[in-house]
Every structure is written in C-alpha cells, then in structure tokens.
Amino acid sequence: MSQISETDLILNSDGSVYHLHLKPEDITQTILTVGDPERVEKITANFDSVSFKKKSREFVTHRGVCHGKELTVMSTGMGTDNIEIFMNELDALVNVDLRTRTIKEEKTSLNIIRIGTSGSLQEDLPVGALLASDYAVGLDTLMCYYDLSQTAHEQEISFHLQEATGLPFAPYAVAGSSKLREQLAFDMVIGNTATCPGFYGPQGRKLRAKNAMPEFMEVLNAFRQADFRLTNFEMETAGYYAMGRLLGHEVLSLNAILANRVTQEFAANPDQIVGDLIQKVLERI
Ligand SMILES: O=P(O)(O)O[C@H]1O[C@H](CO)[C@@H](O)[C@H]1O
Ligand SMILES: O=c1cc[nH]c(=O)[nH]1
C-alpha cells in the first residue's frame, strides 16, 4: 500500500495533524463547526462536560458531552481556503493511519454541521430567519484544483451562473446532506447559498475600493435556473459541500440570517439569533 509522503501529510512532533493540531482520539463522529473561534465556547457552555480543548491558529476545538451525546465543536476562521485545510486534515484524522501514512481500507463518514451567520439576498428572506443550505454555489476558484463530480442539475446551475455573472471561471454548485437536513432543519427555511471569496466586493459591498462588478449583488439576486434561486451569501458553505462530497462526509450548513442586503437591514439582536440556532441544533443532534 502506498505511503503518503511527509510533505503531503505533515504531522507535528506529537503526531497531530499540521494545522488543526489534533490526533484521531481528539474528535467525535459528529462535529459542529463555526467561523468565529469565540463561538465555540458559546456552544460548549451548554455542554454537560468538556473533556478536551485545543487552540491552533483560528482552529479552536472543544470535545465534550451534550444531552448524553459525544460532540466536537470546532472553529474554522473565514473563507473556503480555511475549509480546504480543515476538511482535508479532519478527513486524515479518521481515514488515514497516521502511523503508517496509509489510507485506511474502511472509511469513516463524519457528520459535519456548520452553524454560521449569513446575509439575505432576497427581500422575502428576513433578518432573524434560520436557513439550511440545500445547494451551495462557490463563487471562488477552489474547485479548479479538485476533480469534483457534479450532477447534471448542478452543472446547469454552474454553467448558467457563469454566464450571468461573467466570472472568468465556472462557479461550482453542490448539494448538502439531505439526511442531516431532515434531522436538524425540518422547520427552517430551505435555501441555496452563494459562497463568496470575500465579505466586501465579492458580496457587492462598497466602502472605498472600486468594485469591478458594481451590480454583482443584483445579478445574484435576479439569477434563476428553472425554480432555483440564490437566497443568501456567506463565505464557507460551498467549500464544505464540495470537500464533503470529494471525501465522503455528510455536511449541512445552517445559517442565522443577520442582514438583509435588499432592504439594507442589519439585526438588532445578532447574538440572540445565533443563540436560537445553537439551541435548536443541540436539542436535535
Ligand atoms: O459566522 P461565520 O460562521 O464566520 O460565517 C460568516 O461570517 C463571516 C463574515 O462575517 C464569514 O465567515 C461568513 O461565512
Ligand atoms: O452579509 C453577511 C453576513 C454574514 N456573513 C457574510 O458573509 N455576509
């Protein structure tokens, strides 16, 4: 069996994976993820007990027990470049024998649930809504570097969205886990999430820097492919869904809608909206 080299899979001197600084025994099969490292503690404050904590760069990990269930909560920081590192190293923890550097014969599929914040792209998706991403569309170039398989429907969305936006590469469209959606999001809004490689220009915001595509938000708002429309944007979901498919993990992105970009409203109570989402997930997991 071929060995993964020391530069492809970098391990720290304690045997942990390079950026996450974790060993296989540090994680559980179900992992809740957040962007903001400080949100990890907000979730595990609800736990019965926390048995493990680690911080490495923006990757903060807590492992513990909530309502009798073993869970891991991890922060990723912002952007799909972080998600690429996060998903590869998480997968290596369960599907690579780190001692022999060989891929395990029997694969483990993780349940990965993002609890994130997001902005609404549609007037009828209000601030305060909790949204599960059915599909995510990556408006970044991450999938130019991987051999992602897409369904015919996903390919059509990718093709027509490139046409509509005029981007010089094809965005990638990927569905999330229907199993996790049915378990966790049965009363939430079901939407389709645009994942942007930035918070300002790539989401149509303008401060001082001149935008190359000043109408970008309007283009995303108006995009239709049969009955498909984009409902919200953020910065990680498509990276999760695509890497999840490549590696065989169940992934669901749940979004607390904090801003409505059409009505230009921002939540008066963002912590409460995120808190509601956390409580729902912990009750249902
Ligand atoms: O609240 P989180 O999970 O960080 O998610 C959203 O918030 C950040 C931008 O403020 C981006 O990471 C975006 O995806
Ligand atoms: O508008 C928003 C709100 C949260 N996160 C984003 O990326 N965009």
Q: What is the ipTM for the molecules in this complex?
A: 0.98
Probe residue for ligand 2, chosen from 199, 205, 217, 255 as the CB with the greatest number of ligand atoms within 8 Å: 199
Contact status, residue 16 vs residue 22, Cβ threshold 8 Å: yes
Rounded to an integer, what distance in angstroms lies between the CA atom of residue 31 and that of residue 211?
37
Span from the CA of 14 to the centroid of ligand 1 (angstroms): 31
Nearest CA to ligand 1 atom 12: 78
Domains along the chain? 24-284 (3.40.50.1580)
Cα separation, 169 vs 176, whole angstroms: 22
Q: What are the CA-CA distances from residue 178 to residues 6, 117, 119, 134, 203 (Å)?
A: 36, 20, 23, 8, 27
- Quote the pLDDT of residue 185: 98
Q: Which among 34, 83, 118, 264 is the best mutation to test ligand 2's pocket, defined by most ligand atoms within 8 Å of the CB?
A: 118
d(CA 281, CA 283): 5
The residue among 93, 142, 105, 121 whose CA lies nearest residue 1 is: 105
Residue that has been written with the tokens 């979901």 in this structure = 237
- Give the pocket of ligand 2 (CB within 6 Å): 117-119, 199, 203, 233-235, 258-259
CA distance 205 to 199: 7
Asked whether the beta carbons of 232 and 193 are under 8 A apart, the reply is yes
Measuring CA to CA, how many Å separate 255 from each of 169, 174, 267, 284? 26, 17, 14, 16
State how far the Cα of 96 lies from the Cα of 4, in Å rounded to an integer.
Answer: 9
Structure tokens of 272? 């409460």
The predicted structure's pLDDT at residue 191: 98
pLDDT value for 242: 99
Cβ distance 27 to 72 under 8 Å? yes
**pLDDT in 10s for each residue of the chain, 285 residues:** 799 999 999 999 999 999 999 999 999 999 999 999 999 999 999 999 999 999 999 999 999 999 999 999 999 999 999 999 999 999 999 999 999 999 999 999 999 999 999 999 999 999 999 999 999 999 999 999 999 999 999 999 999 999 999 999 999 999 999 999 999 999 999 999 999 999 999 999 999 999 999 999 999 999 999 999 999 999 999 999 999 999 999 999 999 999 999 999 999 999 999 999 999 999 999
pLDDT of amino acid 194: 98
Q: Is 234 in the pocket of ligand 1 (CB under 6 A)?
A: yes
Question: What's the pLDDT score for residue 32?
Answer: 98
Which of 239, 261, 252 minimizes the C-alpha distance to 280?
Answer: 252
Beta strands in the chain (DSSP E): 30-34, 49-56, 59-66, 69-75, 96-97, 102-103, 111-120, 130-138, 172-175, 189-195, 224-225, 228-229, 232-234, 250-260, 265-266
Tell me, yes or no, if the pTM score tops 0.80. Answer: yes
- Residue 178 Cα, ligand 2 centroid: separation in angstroms? 24
